[in-house]
Structure 1
Amino acid sequence: HLGYEQYGVRERFNDFSRAFWDIMDEAARRPVDFVVIAGDLFNKRAIDAQTLIHAIEGLKKLKEQGIPVIAIEGNHDRSYYRDGISWLQFLCHQGYLTLLAPVMRDGAPVLGQWQSDTMRGSHVDLLGGRLRVYGLPWQGAATNHSMEGLAEALASVHAEEESAGVEYRLLMMHTGIEGIVPRVQGLPSMAQFQPLQTYVDYLALGHVHKPYEFDGWIYNPGSTETCGAEESAWEDRGYYFVEIDTDEPEKVIDPNKAARCHRATHLVSKRRPFVRHEMRVDGLSEPDALYARLEDYCRREGYKHQESALRPLVQIQLIGTLNFDAGSLDLSRMEEMVKSYFRPLYTRVDNNTNDQDYIPEGGEIDGRDRSAWHVLELRIFEELVSRDNRYLPAREQWSTVLADLKRMALEKDDPASIAQYLRDKRAELLVT
């Protein structure tokens, strides 16, 4: 997701680039035989020059060492128009990576060796033809149909691959598995991946930012930087270092896992700390009680980040049922409190609370008798103002004030007169 200026903070743009560079540096340091990127190298289709420079900065380190990079397009990378050129295609044309893009026929990929002149093809062969890397870019709503066609195509060439000396097959797909993240809908089920297992040794997935792996052949490393606050709960996001040995697999495989001839080591990417805290407000009867609870949290947790090399991002979410008027909350005051304890790069306090449902006490007045509406209205106003401790001592008087304000507004009284009436009543009724 290079180029993502999260929350409008420019330093976040640099954070995503640094996470990418760190991985490229690690690949060059080891060094690896090749690198695969399963989509969404960029955060959006229309990138600026600085984003492109940062991408080249990372990729050229591998190019200089002769380490091939194989990639596919994700939903964020694709060009705006069917006949348009994406920035990944530009990088491919410049020799920084190989972009796999099979020809699609009737919604299914046609298997064919990647060709540099057309920049089209479903796969490339590496390590003297012993290892084949397939790629299926983002298919959107057509993913399920494309997977069915891919499984059939792989089955049809399997014998040919065996005779050609292909010993290991890696497939990249920019999609996820249904149910991994509940809010992400429209993904294939695990059952729909099963037909691929016979013909694929390693399935490298993208799209879903939560890390997961299954059955020794499906791997999704998760996002390298935190694209959304909910990702902060998935601390082990990053990338994989994979060792493959088809001659003596016992040298690399983990006996406790189902992998057949590889060991996939999940590595956590270097990234800026992201603190997300859900603070319940149930039972708090006034804003000061809420501020005190927040300060208690900040006092306990803030010091952990005071000396951090990278200043954290902090998001506070207020949840639960609010027992007083949400308009009396001073979110700016709360954000300043967070800043004083955490020294964050960015902070935000979100009010995601629910208003308390109104349930009238007693059942003798239900509103069907129009003559009793005024009494019912006063009772409702009284119960509502009682939920805020500031108005509780004079709740009966405040209910009358609210009724008067409503009447004055309906009669189109002068707004200045209405405001003055409210100021006078506040001075009279509020206990200081």
Structure 2
Amino acid sequence: MRLAHAADIHLGHRQYDNPQRETDVKLAFEHFLGTVGEHDVTAILLPGDLFDSRDVSPKTLNEAESVLADVDVPVVVSPGNHDQSMGTRRELTWLQYLNDNGLITLLSGNPSDDPAFVRTDLADPRQGGGGFVDIEDGGETVRCFGVPYRGAYIERDIEPIADGIRAVNEREGAPDTTVLLAHFGVDDAVPDLGATVKRAWLTPIEDCVDYLALGHIHKRYETGTVGRNPGSLEALDIQEGRWDESHGYYVFDTEDGTANHHLSHRRPYHTMSFDVSGYRTFEDLRGEFAAALEDERPSVERSCERKIHRDGGGNRREPVVNVRFVGTLLLDHGSFDVEALRELAAECLDALHVQPTNNTERKAIAELLGDIERDEAFDADGTVNTDVLQERVFTTIAGESRYSAETEAVARTLDELEGLVTDDGQGASEVAAYLGERRRELFPEGAAESGDESASDDVETNDGTEAANEERTSQQTLDARGSE
């Protein structure tokens, strides 16, 4: 017997408030259901989040009913956190509505009850309570158990779930295959994605099931010997769009125990980065961004050409593009027209939607400029006044150094050093010599203590450590200039 396992369908999800993205979610589900005949499956497993919200719109409900009505094998569903809240899980939900109309078989056993699992009849799912169901084909029996999303309670529920499964199998007789549908993530497999269950906790369940059909985390992963999470069929946000090979469904073969993952058909996603560092006018930045888009276009088209990203007729589907702006932004915030850049990217890449992400760094500049008046800190065209910024940088460096007693003079020295390097092209040795002269002028007592009382041009004292320090200071000057 073969069982198709998908999860996190999220019917009704409308990304960016774009109606097409809501349609994309439905199309991905339709395509998955259409594979039933291709894989010769006996039943479909959906462990949670069939809907995106308990507040299902009439349109979404109608589409769900229409799509499910065409499926000629049992669709076994357990509730996810988006399907119903824990506080009202016994009230009528849209999953219960679909169950009562014979479109799905809802499994929602309660680990706190005794017994935890009560039989559901496939022929009449309204009779029985919905804890487990037997699927029979060719003399083989697959027993499916299902529990609702339990949130933080899942840790304490794992042992009762395992006990409940064993109790049913002892009472009803052992099936050929035991399956559990559950909606939680395993943290060890996908850290930092909101998973709450530790791998070690699953041992009791692994001892009594042959296949653990998981949902909740939208990225594909496998855990232990029986746990499988297929990932959502459609990528629902920018991060998920980057998980290129992690969206799809499993086909579990009960005969040999194998579970093969298949990629789902979904809209193409593409992420690109653009470094804004160094541009002092928006026109320059926009021009270079346009050139970067042209360079990026072949990569976008390669993604669009993949079979899994094309529509039912094999045609190109407009991609969703994430543009990450990175680097140090020298422009005034009001001059950095992200919307204009977004429109440019949408046109150049023929995208359904472009989502900009502004990861540029402005904090350090804002802190350095401090209480400087805005009109002084920025030029008329909105660009940073680099002379003011440079003065503040050098003043900060001088004030935090061991030469802070002469902050203003040292800051002027650093400014002059910058001119020696950038304007006059002087090397490190010339810069070090100049630093030596200025040090002896500003701090004669310190020069005497270091044994450097002469007016000689030889600045290599204390085995060369002072010269080395001065060369390091010259490098800090270069670094400060580069940070602008």
TM-score (norm. length: structure 1)? 0.75
Of 240, 243, 251, which aligns to 2:250?
A: 240
Tell me the CA shift for residue 277 of structure 1. 2.5
Tell me the CA shift for residue 350 of structure 1. 2.7
Distance in 2 of aligned mates of 1:376 and 1:151? 61
Instruction: Look up the SS of the partner of 1:172 in the other structure.
Output: strand
Q: 1:114 to 1:103 in 2, by over 3 A?
A: farther
Identity of aligned residues (%): 29
2:318 aligns with: 311
Task: Give 1:13-412 correspondences, 5 Å limit.
Answer: 13-62=22-71, 65=72, 67-78=73-84, 81-105=88-112, 110-114=116-120, 116-118=125-127, 120-127=129-136, 128=139, 130-157=141-168, 159-160=170-171, 164-185=173-194, 187-236=196-245, 237-245=247-255, 249=256, 262-303=257-298, 304-305=300-301, 309-358=316-365, 384-385=377-378, 390=383, 392=385, 395=388
1:364 aligns with: none
Tell me the CA shift for residue 336 of structure 1. 1.8
Distance in 2 of aligned mates of 1:72 and 1:183? 25
Distance in 1 of aligned mates of 2:70 and 2:141? 25
Q: Which amino acid aligns with 2:42?
A: D
Q: Which amino acid aligns with 2:178?
A: R
Q: 1:44 to 1:92 in 2, by over 3 A?
A: same
Alpha carbons 1:109, 1:149 under 8 Å: kept: no
1:411 aligns with: none
Q: 1:18 to 1:392 in 2, by over 3 A?
A: same
| CA deviation string 1:94-113 (max 9, x = no partner) | 1011000114427x971221
What's the Cα RMSD here? 3.2
Alpha carbons 2:120, 2:133 under 8 Å: kept: yes
Instruction: Look up the SS of the partner of 2:181 in the other structure.
Output: strand
Q: 1:96 to 1:393 in 2, by over 3 A?
A: closer
Distance in 1 of aligned mates of 2:290 and 2:188? 37
Distance in 2 of aligned mates of 1:360 and 1:56? 57
Distance in 2 of aligned mates of 1:55 and 1:288? 49
Tell me the CA shift for residue 209 of structure 1. 0.3
Q: Which amino acid aligns with 1:242?
A: F
Instruction: Look up the SS of the partner of 1:110 in the other structure.
Output: coil
Tell me the CA shift for residue 269 of structure 1. 0.6
Distance in 1 of aligned mates of 2:242 and 2:353? 18
Q: 1:393 to 1:187 in 2, by over 3 A?
A: closer
Between 325-334 and 110-119, report the one with greater CA deviation: 110-119
1:259 aligns with: none
Distance in 1 of aligned mates of 2:344 and 2:374? 33
1:429 aligns with: none
Q: 1:293 to 1:159 in 2, by over 3 A?
A: farther
Tell me the CA shift for residue 214 of structure 1. 2.5
Distance in 2 of aligned mates of 1:203 and 1:193? 10
Distance in 2 of aligned mates of 1:377 and 1:10? 46
Alpha carbons 2:377, 2:385 under 8 Å: kept: no
Q: 1:389 to 1:347 in 2, by over 3 A?
A: closer
Instruction: Look up the SS of the partner of 1:322 in the other structure.
Output: coil
Tell me the CA shift for residue 223 of structure 1. 0.8
**Runs of 5+ in structure 2 lacking a partner?**
1-9, 306-314, 393-484
Tell me the CA shift for residue 244 of structure 1. 1.7
Tell me the CA shift for residue 395 of structure 1. 4.7
Between 33-42 and 281-290, report the one with greater CA deviation: 281-290
Tell me the CA shift for residue 333 of structure 1. 1.5
| CA deviation string 1:335-381 (max 9, x = no partner) | 121022111111222323231415999xxxxxxxxxxxxx9956x87
TM-score (norm. length: structure 2)? 0.67
Tell me the CA shift for residue 194 of structure 1. 2.0
Distance in 2 of aligned mates of 1:122 and 1:129? 20
Distance in 1 of aligned mates of 2:109 and 2:271? 41
Q: 1:40 to 1:390 in 2, by over 3 A?
A: closer
**Runs of 5+ in structure 1 lacking a partner?**
250-261, 362-374, 400-432
Q: 1:51 to 1:282 in 2, by over 3 A?
A: same
Q: Report the count of equivalent residues.
A: 362
Instruction: Look up the SS of the partner of 2:234 in the other structure.
Output: coil
